[in-house]
């Protein structure tokens, strides 16, 4: 089963993992979105139709898990070299087929080859790029 039939159907299929964030003008330009989150700025590749939005938008953030470990119970969003992020939170819902709804400073739809524990604090390190799906 493909992960994504189209950006639009992927966005529509996961309403429980979306969040409204403010999109800022990005000096690097499209397709990079710079989003203002409660934990700081986050950069993600825009999977929506151009042009890039500005202001409040609802997005579905998607990450592939590079590695993970036990967390401290503190939501965190830390940019790492090479476009990766370290994100602290917990798996709120197992969606099946290696997909998880993860709640940290922002909700994320995670894809992981290894099973992630549900309901326990975790940190994950994402593979680049983080993706932002929007209507």
* pLDDT at residue 2 is higher than 60: no
Residue 95 lies in a domain: yes
pLDDT at 25: 84
Residue 2 lies in a domain: no
- DSSP three-state, residue 11: helix
Tally the domains of the chain: 1
Q: What is the CA radius of gyration of the chain?
A: 14
At 74, the pLDDT band (50, 70, 90 cuts) reads: confident
* pLDDT at residue 60 is higher than 90: yes
Mean of per-residue pLDDT scores for the chain: 91
Q: What is the mean pLDDT of residues 66-82?
A: 94
Residue 72 lies in a domain: yes
Short-list 97, 101, 75, CA closest to 87: 75
* pLDDT at residue 62 is higher than 50: yes
Give exposure, 22-61, as e/b (b: 16+ Cβ within 10 Å): ebeebeeeebebbbeeeeeebbbbbbbeeebbeeebebbb
**7: alpha, beta or left, given left = phi > 0 and alpha = psi -120 to 50?**
alpha
Residue 100 lies in a domain: yes
pLDDT at 26: 72
Residue 1 lies in a domain: no
Q: Which of 45-49, 54-58, 106-110 has the lowest mean pLDDT?
A: 45-49
* pLDDT at residue 10 is higher than 70: yes
Residue 124 lies in a domain: yes
pLDDT at 84: 96
| Residue ranges making up the domain that contains 98 | 7-133
Residue 39 lies in a domain: yes
């Amino acid at each position: 089963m493909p992960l994504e039939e189209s950006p639009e159907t992927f966005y529509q299929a996961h309403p429980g993992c979306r969040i409204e964030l403010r999109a800022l003008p990005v000096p690097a330009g499209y397709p990079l979105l710079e989003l203002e989150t409660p934990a700081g700025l986050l950069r993600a590749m825009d999977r929506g139709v151009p042009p890039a939005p500005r202001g409040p938008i609802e997005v579905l953030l998607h990450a592939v898990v590079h590695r993970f470990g036990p967390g401290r119970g503190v939501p965190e969003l830390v940019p790492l070299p090479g476009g990766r992020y370290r994100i602290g939170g917990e798996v709120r819902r197992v969606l099946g087929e290696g997909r998880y709804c993860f709640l940290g400073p922002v909700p994320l739809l995670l894809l992981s080859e290894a099973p992630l524990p549900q309901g326990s604090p975790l940190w994950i390190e994402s593979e680049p790029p983080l993706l932002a799906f929007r209507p």
